[in-house]
Amino acid sequence: MFKVNDDYLKLQGSYLFSNIAKKVAAFTEANPDAPIIRLGIGDVTQPLAPAIIDSLHSAVDEMAAAETFHGYAPDLGYEFLRSAMAENDYKARGCDIKADEIFISDGAKCDSGNIQEIFSRDNKIAVCDPVYPVYVDTNVMAGRTGTYDAKKGIWSDVIYMPCTAENNFSPELPTSTPDLIYLCFPNNPTGSTITKDELQKWVDYANKVGAVIIYDAAYEAYISETDVPHTIYECDGARTCAIELRSFSKNAGFTGVRLGATVIPKDLKSGDVMLHTLWARRHGTKYNGAPYIVQRAGEAVYSEAGKAQLKAQVAYYMENAKIIYEGLRDAGYSVSGGVNAPYIWLKTPVTMTSWEFFDYLLEKANVVGTPGSGFGPSGEGYFRLTAFGSHENTVAAIGRIKAL
């Protein structure tokens, strides 16, 4: 008689954003005329840039003729895209990452969920608290997190690194030693960042204790301050301890196009075993490449026209971030983030939990945000708004919140 993976049954409720979608759907059904504005899930709203659209059309035409048709992609992704990334994301920043250390995928969510698979089940993970829920949830599903304390909202075998107003949303080095450290900067959900000097301390620490840093750089395009690193490979020694996750979702609006990449330097080893080899084996065995047309779209992100158009797109969203930040501040909220990130993190009124504030905003202002407690226990009492709406909606949403 077959049995299911018991570790799946340990998961608490459903995935955060699925929960939110269900709540909003229920509210909309009960209030069909409510003018809902969604600043919850980090989904973009601006159309793809013209350079990307051109590239997609051109690639589609290639698929229409036998001479230029493309079937299965190479295991690691097309060389044209890996080279563009190596050149623009790494070499241009003085980082030593080769094209064949970059694995193209269909997005950073998949990669951040799957990467734990190449590690031993008894490895111990450390996560910022609050943080993107995929890191912890996928380790729960792999049986790596122990038992859940429903009262505290924590797993027995996870090292939580609180990021709250008290430490300026910047994690401190853990007191017990982890094997895998998930870091995401600019941070989702707090919008906080880390300076290059601070990140260097993490790299030195990981090399010292023999830990691997899984560095999620999905929001690097939103960095505006010069001392904030765009990649962990700006730090000395990162090649022997860090895996970096890259996304095209937020810098190029690919949430519905699906493209990402994982960087594993060949110097990152456990004894003689390169993690690069293990991830290559996973790619070869369980994955069949991102679509050719999508990889061509990714290449266009690095064209001169693409760069200019996407710079304007990021600026558009960051103008929203400013509107949200200043509007909430003027309304008396404690706010952070929004300077190097498309996320604004606010303290909920003292009388409300994160989910109570979610319901309150949805009912009274018809604005959807994300409850901070969904990102971890230290997120309780906080709330995330995203800058990915349209200008009009953003201005309207903040106006409604101010009017409450």
User: CB under 8 A: which stretch of 88-96, 190-198, 205-213, 338-346 binds a copy of itself?
Assistant: 205-213
For residue 351, the minimal CB distance to a copy of itself (Å) is 32
Q: Which stretch binds a copy of itself (CB under 8 A): 167-175, 270-278, 319-327, 346-354?
A: 270-278
DSSP annotation of 232: G
- DSSP secondary structure code for residue 340 in this structure: S
Q: How many CB atoms are closer than 10 A to CB 49? A: 24
Asked if residue 248 belongs to a known ligand binding site, the reply is yes
What gap in Å lies between CA 385 and CA 371, rounded to an integer? 9
| Cα(404)–Cα(398) distance, integer angstroms | 10
Burial 243-259 (b: 16+ CB within 10 A, else e): bbbbbbbbbbbbbebbb
Q: Which 108-167 positions form the footprint of a copy of itself (CB under 8 A)?
A: 109-110, 113-114, 117-123, 134, 137-138, 141
For residue 359, count other CB atoms closer than 10 A to its CB: 14
Q: Does 31 bind a copy of itself (CB under 8 A)?
A: no
289 binds a copy of itself (CB under 8 A): yes
Contact 203, 146 (CB under 8 A): no
| Residue closest to 64 by CA, chosen among 306, 292, 256, 303 | 292
Does 18 engage in binding with a copy of itself (CB under 8 A)? yes
Cβ contacts of residue 103 below 8 Å, gap of 6+? 76, 77, 261, 262, 263, 264, 279, 280, 283
CB 262 within 8 A of CB 53: no
75: contact with a copy of itself by CB under 8 A? yes
Cβ at position 86, least distance to a copy of itself in Å: 21
Is 132 within any annotated ligand binding site? yes
Binding to a copy of itself (CB under 8 A) within 328-387 occurs at: none
Has 366 been labeled as part of a binding site? no
80 binds a copy of itself (CB under 8 A): no
Q: Does 5 bind a copy of itself (CB under 8 A)?
A: yes
Taking the complex as a whole, the smallest distance from the CB of residue 254 to a copy of itself amounts, in Å, to 9
User: Minimum CB separation from a copy of itself for residue 116, in Å?
Assistant: 9
Which residues make up each annotated binding site? 15, 42, 72, 108-109, 132, 188, 219, 247-249, 258, 288, 384
Which residues make up each annotated binding site for substrate? 15, 42, 109, 132, 188, 288, 384
